[in-house]
Structures are given as C-alpha cells and as structure tokens.
Structure 1
Amino acid sequence: MFQLSEHAQDFIERTKAFIKNEIEPVENEFWHDVHHLNTDGDWTKWQWPEQLEVLKDKAKQAGLWNMFLPDPVLGQGLSVQEYAHIAEISGRSLLAPTVFNCNAPDSGNMEVIWRYGTEQQKQQWLMPLLAGKIRSVFCMTEPDVASSDATNMQATAVVDGDEIVLNGRKWWSSGLGDPNAKIIIFMAHTPDETKDRHHQHSMVLVPVDTKGVNIERMLPVFGDYDAPHGHGEISFENVRVPVANFIGGAGQGFEIAQGRLGPGRIHHCMRCIGAAEKALELMIDRGMSRTAFGKEILKLGGNLERVADARVAIDQARLLTLYAAHKMDTLGNMAALTEISAIKVIAPSVLEKVVDMAMQIHGGAGLSKDTPLTGFFAQARSLRLADGPDEVHKGMIAKLELKKRGYGSRKK
C-alpha cells in the first residue's frame, strides 16, 4: 500500500542528505542569530538571518523546493502519501520546512491558489510564493467567537459594486510578523439568504498594505513570539479590494477550506511524527549519557518502558497518517474524513507525550532553548487547537461512525 516510486525515493534520500549536511550543522547557530536579531519585541523590526536565503538557494539548486505541491511543473509531482515521508523528515528540524519552501501557512495558501485561483491570481501571488520571494498569511480564527465552529464567524466580506468590503478582526494569524508577508487569505461571512449556512462564507485575497488593514499586535505562544514568523491579531476596517479577489467565487469558502486543510493536516501530522522521532533520539542519548544512583538515567524507574511506549505510539501514528494519505490519493478527501480527523487528534498528542518524556529526562536543559524540545512542545500543544480542536475532530469521527450504523442526522 505504501510502496514508493523511484522518483519519490530519490527525493526522500536527497532530503535526508540535505538536512544532515546543510541544515543540522548550522541550525543551533541559526536560531541563536534569530533570537539575537529579534530581541526588542518590536515586530516591525523583525528579520531573518542572511543564512536563510543561503540555505534556500542551496535547496532550490538541489531541486528540493515546493515538494508539497503535486503539480509536476510548479511542484515536484509527488503524491500526498509520497510527500508525507518528506514532511516527516523535515519535521525533525524547526528550520527545514522553511528552507524547502514547504512551511505553513504558505504551503496551504499556495495549494488554495493553485487549486481554486484564477490565472491572474496565480500570476500575481502564486508565482512569487512558489519562488520564495514573498510570504503569506491565513486569517480565519477570531477573538470574540468560538472559532471551533467556523459558522460563528463575525468578519464580513460584502460585495459593493465591483468591490468587496471587508470588516472584522482576526487573530492567531500565523506568519503575520514575517517581514516578507505580502498577501493575506481572509475568510469571512458573505450573507446570502438564498444559500445554506455552509455556502455563506468566502475567501478573499488581500494585500497586507491595503488601506484599512491594521496589524494590532503579535501574540506569544508560551511566552515566545516565534519571531520573525509571528502569530498576530489584525483588524479590517472597511477594506476594499476588487471582486476579482474572491477565490473560487463568493460563498465557496467552506469548500475551499476542506480542500486546503486535508493535505495540510497530513503535512502537520507527519512533521509531528518527525519531531517525535527526534525527541525520542534526544531522550535516549541524554538518558544513556548521564548517570545517577550508579545507573544510566534511562535505566532508572520506568524510563525504559517509556521508550517502548514512545516507539509504539510513533509507529501507530505514522501508519495511520500514511493510510489517510493513501486514501486521499486513491479515493479523495471525502473518503478519508475519518482518518484525517483521527490523525489530527493522534499525531500532536503523540508528539506532546514523547516531548514531555524527553524533557523529563533532560531535566532543566529540557526547558531551555539549548535543545529543540520546547519548540516541539509548543508545536504539539498548538496543533491540538489549530485546524480544529481535538474535540471537533472526535465529534466528526463519532458522527461518521453513527452514520455507518444508520444513525445519521435527521430533521425533526
């Protein structure tokens, strides 16, 4: 089922080699430079170290670029399941996805424009994103409503002649602090009494510098602003853009969101699995290099059982995620709804538990930036909310199980 083509295997091996030879030797110093460059808390001055462009150029030259996109011309022609293996490899590093131009939210935004955008939208925004010349932002979550139910959305996108008028406030808009962020995909309510509630939302392309777009602040995750990427709060006050900036047309927002989130969840989950593998390796190396009470730390208490538990959990999560990717490739996203929701629950949870074990073995060092563990932990805990909280996905799984037994929703 998970057999890989020679084409995919070549990319996997070359990705492994690139990370080992080009990224791992400089990653610690890179993040040290990031913290040094972005210490004053003023997001308007955030910047990336020059080393990033050097690494990105090397990745381009190596052909390890835009591997997430299945298009054989604009991307590398890899299936969802084939790219999943690469996402796992890149997930071992907090830097690698950006180096390969396969990082969130850009990869998801590029897929949206590639799948649903007009030719003009592709030329204006997709091509610069694919070239790595600009970055993008996705605005969906709102501060004043329970965003786990996207129909609660209060932001609006209303047609006025040949323009769309946007109003509302969004937050946790990832990538908003990036100095190269130039375009926003804004999801909002487009009221239409003739349509059902899942056809009254739209996605709109909004240049960051449009009048009325106000970046209010950056939001810290566990006290870290994730500079220079950032997660921001942003308001839209009577923002006007051309009607041509609708993606796929008014009222198509939910349909597009499902197309965006399916592959994106595979990417997120496989990166979680890669991070969990890295955390387990760090845990074992640390536990076998330190002694206490006359034994290696890893051999004290129940630590060896925790290693075994981590191995079992990681492998289970990987197999389920690859199965979801296989179903998406062969049967389509709708046929894989249960598996997509299941991996979104499982993979971040597995990463969170494995990182927690690794932190415990590392002692105080596990809470510092001397290892990637705190970054992995923030990633895991954030993903239990991002793209839908665990509870929503469990609700979807249960709903589909009841439907199999003939207990689908009935109108009263």
Structure 2
Amino acid sequence: MNFQLPPEIAELQQRTRRFIAEQVIPLETSETHSGHGPSPELRAELVARARAAGLLTPHASKEMGGLGLSHVAKAAVFEEAGYSWLGPTALNIHAPDEGNIHLMEEVATPAQKERWLRPQVEGRTRSCFAMTEPSPGAGADPSMLATTAVRDGDEYLISGTKWFITGAEGADYVIIMARMEDGSATMFLSDMDRPEIVLERSMDAMDACFAGGHGVLRFNNLRVPASDVLGEVGKGFRYAQVRLAPARLTHCMRWLGQARRAHDIALDYVRKRQAFGKPLAEHEGVGFMLADNDMDLQTARLHIWHTAWLLDQGEKGNFESSRAKVVCSEAEWRVVDRCVQMLGGQGVTMETPVMRIFMDMRAFRIYDGPSEVHRWSMARKLVHMAEKAAAGAHA
C-alpha cells in the first residue's frame, strides 16, 4: 500500500493546519463554556472564515459546492480540523451535519437537495438526526424504535420522543427515524420550526463542542407530506447504515486531531518542566507515557486510513468501521488521559486545553454505538465468517 498522500491532498492538509492555527484556535478564548456548544454568533464567524479560506464543507460533492473529498482525503483534512474543538464547526464537518450531508447526497431527491442540502453545504443552516429514544425506545439497539409514522392520505403523522439529539437547539431541519405500521422504519425530513416539534430541553452533558448541544425532542402528530420521505418507505434501517459507517470513521478522524493536540501540549510541558533535578520528559515513567501516546496515535491513524481506503474502493466497510471506532475511541482516550497525568495539576484545570479535550472526548466511546455493542457485532460476524468458511471447506 502507498501511504503517500497525493500532492493536492497534502497541500490541502497543510492549508487546513495553517487555517486552524491562525484563524480558529485564537477564537477558542472567546467561547463561553455553556455546555451547549459554540454560540450561533461564534459559529457564523467560524463559518465565514472557512468560507473565505476555501475550506467550507470540503466533504460535500463539487456539484453541491464542496471539494468532493475522498474518504482518504477526509482522513487527512478532518484530523487537522479536529486539532481545535472549534475546527469541525468552522469547516462545517461537525456531527451530526457531516453525516447528514453524506446521507442526503446519497439518498435525497433533487428537490430535497435544493431545499435542505444546498443551504447546509453553504453553511447557512444546520441539521439534526432524530433516532435515539428514551427507554424502552431505540438506543444502541435501533430495532427498539418506538416513534411511529402513520399514513394519513398523502401525509404521515409522526409521534414520539427522541433524546440525545445532537444539534437540536437551533437546527433548521431534522431527519426523523420512525416505525411504520408494518414494523419497518422510514426516514422523514422536516423543518424544525413546526409547532408539532417541541424541544423539551437541552441536556446537560460532559461535552461542549457540538453546536446546539444535545436535546430532547417531542413530535406531536407532526404532519409530513409523502414528498418529504427521505429515500424509500421502509428502508430506514438500511439508510442508517449508509450514514453510520462513514460517520463512525469521521468521528475517529476529528478526535484524532484533538488527541494529537493534547499530546503536543503535554510533550511541550514535560520537556520544560523540571522535577527532581531534570525535565519531566527524562523520567522513565513520563517517557513511557509519551511513547505509548505515539503508538496509540499511529494505531488509530492506520485504522482510519485503512478503513477510509476500503470505503473509497466501494466496500461497505461495516465490520472495519466498527473495529476502527472501538480502536480509535479507546486509543485516543488513553492518549488524552495520559496527557492529563503528565500535566499534573494543570491537567485538571482550564489552564491548558487538555481538560476541555478530556471532558469532550469521554463520550466518544458511547457515540455512534458503545464499544461493547461494536465488539458484540464484530464477534457475531467473525463467527459467521468462520462457519461459512468451514461449510465451504466441507462442500
């Protein structure tokens, strides 16, 4: 395999790195830590800067106004964007919008793309994805979907409650997953300014990097015309996989940038901070943590690049994206945790960005499927592949 990036992607990677350092990181100090993500005003400023730099929504198709990046190209660019927690917001590649843009490109009709997708690619609107529900509804097990959609003439009536809906507050449109009368699932599109959609509350969360935070939404007999069905009726679970496999991987890319930022901060600190007559970095215990960080960062990057390469070959990559999601979420978390330890007292205060990164990243082992669910899914597939191979050997 050739691990050298094409010159145009390497140049874009470096341009993104400079943009984050010069245009985005200086704005981190202006952010108010409300727990519900960057304010609309800060988001508007960030988006304007990325637009001026020619870096806005780079993963969208050229037809829609993006750069049409491949998955491997996204791996390079998204890691650089993730170096600041504001970077994904600036480039318009944050969750859930990044995954929604990908899904809309794949599934939406031309009319739906013009109505909802194009303004989003231009950075003028935001979206949310409403699937997760309170118990006994859908969580890590989407088959428990409880929100219902009932046909009523040329419309559907949608009722139910969703929660942990990232970006709900301030979103312009929503993709709703609902159960049909035959037990299948369908995705629906709706503007968020409908009276039948109620934002009950924004949830207090450990992370504070997602615009709009995480909300609880209630749908009270929301009327959606048949023309606003996303894709085909009854194929919601299939479309969820179209969205989730790449979205798992882009989470890994962005958080790798944050883990690298924490490592750089800790490395700079332990080179300069003296203890017991020499720099901390010269103490074996600290040196081992630095080495372990480097190994975890490289392991995560290789999983990302390999899975991205498979997706670029047209593979579904469901198994590999699950594997990458577990490996990256746990490796990147270990990196940040070690950085807190190396920084000592500074690691548990806002004196450096590391505490903020630590708090934001912990949820990554839960978002887009907990590590345990991915391991369980992988184990089932491994057994199935082994049984299939054994059956073929005896045929």
Same fold (TM over 0.5): yes
1:182 aligned onto 2:165: no
Alignment match, 1:83: 74
Deviations 1:195-245 (A, max 9, x none): xxxxx11111121121221111111223x6658521011111111121111
Corresponding residue to 2:164 among 159, 162, 172? 172
SS for the counterpart of 1:387 is: coil
Deviations 1:301-329 (A, max 9, x none): 61111111111111011111100010111
Q: Give the distance between the partners of 1:241 and 1:48, measured in 2 at CA.
A: 30
Summarize the Cα distance change of 1:292–1:313 in structure 2 as closer, same or farther, 3 Å threshold: same
Corresponding residue to 2:122 among 131, 140, 150? 131
SS for the counterpart of 1:331 is: coil
SS for the counterpart of 1:378 is: helix
Summarize the Cα distance change of 1:343–1:221 in structure 2 as closer, same or farther, 3 Å threshold: same
Alignment match, 2:187: 203
Alignment match, 1:29: 29
**Pairwise CA RMSD of aligned residues?**
2.2
Alignment match, 1:364: 345
Alignment match, 1:319: 302
Q: Give the distance between the partners of 2:221 and 2:46, measured in 1 at CA.
A: 40
Summarize the Cα distance change of 1:86–1:174 in structure 2 as closer, same or farther, 3 Å threshold: same
SS for the counterpart of 2:18 is: helix
Q: Shift of the alpha carbon at 1:71? A: 4.2
Q: Give the distance between the partners of 2:63 and 2:352, measured in 1 at CA.
A: 37
1:217 aligned onto 2:201: yes
SS for the counterpart of 1:206 is: strand
Report which stretch shifted further, 137-146 or 254-263.
137-146
Deviations 1:322-361 (A, max 9, x none): 000101111321xx22211111101111121111111112
Alignment match, 2:384: 403
Q: Shift of the alpha carbon at 1:51? A: 5.0
Q: Shift of the alpha carbon at 1:72? A: 5.6
Q: Give the distance between the partners of 2:211 and 2:7, measured in 1 at CA.
A: 37
Alignment match, 2:373: 392
Alignment match, 2:280: 297
Corresponding residue to 1:248 among 212, 227, 231? 231
Q: Which runs of 5+ in 1 are unaligned?
A: 194-199
1:156 aligned onto 2:148: yes
1:9 aligned onto 2:10: yes
Alignment match, 1:229: 212
Q: Give the distance between the partners of 1:378 and 1:351, measured in 2 at CA.
A: 13
1:246-395 equivalent positions in 2, closer than 5 A: 246-300=229-283, 302-333=285-316, 336-395=317-376
Summarize the Cα distance change of 1:220–1:301 in structure 2 as closer, same or farther, 3 Å threshold: farther
Structure 2: which amino acid aligns with 1:184?
V
Deviations 1:65-88 (A, max 9, x none): 111224465321221111111111
Q: Give the distance between the partners of 1:266 and 1:150, measured in 2 at CA.
A: 19
Q: Give the distance between the partners of 1:288 and 1:326, measured in 2 at CA.
A: 36
Structure 2: which amino acid aligns with 1:28?
E
Summarize the Cα distance change of 1:249–1:49 in structure 2 as closer, same or farther, 3 Å threshold: closer
SS for the counterpart of 1:238 is: strand
Structure 1: which amino acid aligns with 2:18?
A
Summarize the Cα distance change of 1:73–1:139 in structure 2 as closer, same or farther, 3 Å threshold: closer
1:88, 1:273 within 8 Å by CA — same for their partners in 2? yes
1:177, 1:227 within 8 Å by CA — same for their partners in 2? no
Alignment match, 2:104: 113
Alignment match, 2:83: 92
Q: Give the distance between the partners of 2:341 and 2:143, measured in 1 at CA.
A: 41
SS for the counterpart of 2:387 is: coil
Summarize the Cα distance change of 1:246–1:369 in structure 2 as closer, same or farther, 3 Å threshold: farther
Deviations 1:22-51 (A, max 9, x none): 222x133232xx33xx5xx9x8xx972745
Summarize the Cα distance change of 1:51–1:231 in structure 2 as closer, same or farther, 3 Å threshold: closer
SS for the counterpart of 2:313 is: helix
Q: Shift of the alpha carbon at 1:407? A: 5.4
Alignment match, 2:95: 104
Q: Give the distance between the partners of 1:160 and 1:356, measured in 2 at CA.
A: 53
Q: Shift of the alpha carbon at 1:189? A: 1.0
Percent of residue pairs bearing the same amino acid type:
35
1:30, 1:49 within 8 Å by CA — same for their partners in 2? no
TM-score (norm 1): 0.88
Structure 2: which amino acid aligns with 1:7?
E
1:349, 1:380 within 8 Å by CA — same for their partners in 2? no
Q: Shift of the alpha carbon at 1:20? A: 2.0
SS for the counterpart of 2:378 is: helix
Structure 1: which amino acid aligns with 2:29?
E
Q: Give the distance between the partners of 2:49 and 2:254, measured in 1 at CA.
A: 22
Q: Which runs of 5+ in 2 are unaligned?
A: none
Q: Give the distance between the partners of 1:262 and 1:349, measured in 2 at CA.
A: 18
